Amino acid sequence: MRSDRDPLPPCRVGASPEELAREADRSVLYGAILAAQRPGVRLKPQIAAAAEALLPAVRAFLEGREDDEAAFALEYARACGAEAFLLSKRRA
């Protein structure tokens, strides 16, 4: 993890805190999707716990369920700007 003294990578300079938070949330979603598709995959430690927490909802969505868990995954994806990505994985 970066300390406060470490400079931001160039691709994040000028990004707002909200943009950085959405990017972090997308990383968690992508990790959960990867874990659903490849059980046993090793995720980066920074996202592993959050991705594991989201995994049941993502699995429900990818299985085509129409319950509260699946709806949560879709809402999470919408909130972080990754709805199209999640939908494409459901069709795959």
- 49 domain-assigned: no
Please state, in angstroms and rounded to a whole number, the distance separating the CA atoms of residues 46 and 28: 9
Confidence (pTM): 0.83
Print the SS3 string covering the chain: CCCCCCCCCHHHCCCCHHHHHHHHHHHHHHHHHHHHHCCCCCCCHHHHHHHHHHHHHHHHHHCCCCCHHHHHHHHHHHHCCCHHHHHHHHHC
Q: For residue 91, what pLDDT is reported?
A: 80
Tell me: pLDDT of 50 over 70: yes
- 17 domain-assigned: no
- 75 domain-assigned: yes
Number of domains in the chain: 1
Please state, in angstroms and rounded to a whole number, the distance separating the CA atoms of residues 55 and 8: 29
Q: Structural domain of residue 65, as residue ranges?
A: 57-92
Q: What is the mean pLDDT of residues 2-21?
A: 74
Q: What is the mean pLDDT of residues 70-77?
A: 98
Q: Which residue has the higher pLDDT, 90 or 3?
A: 90
- 76 domain-assigned: yes
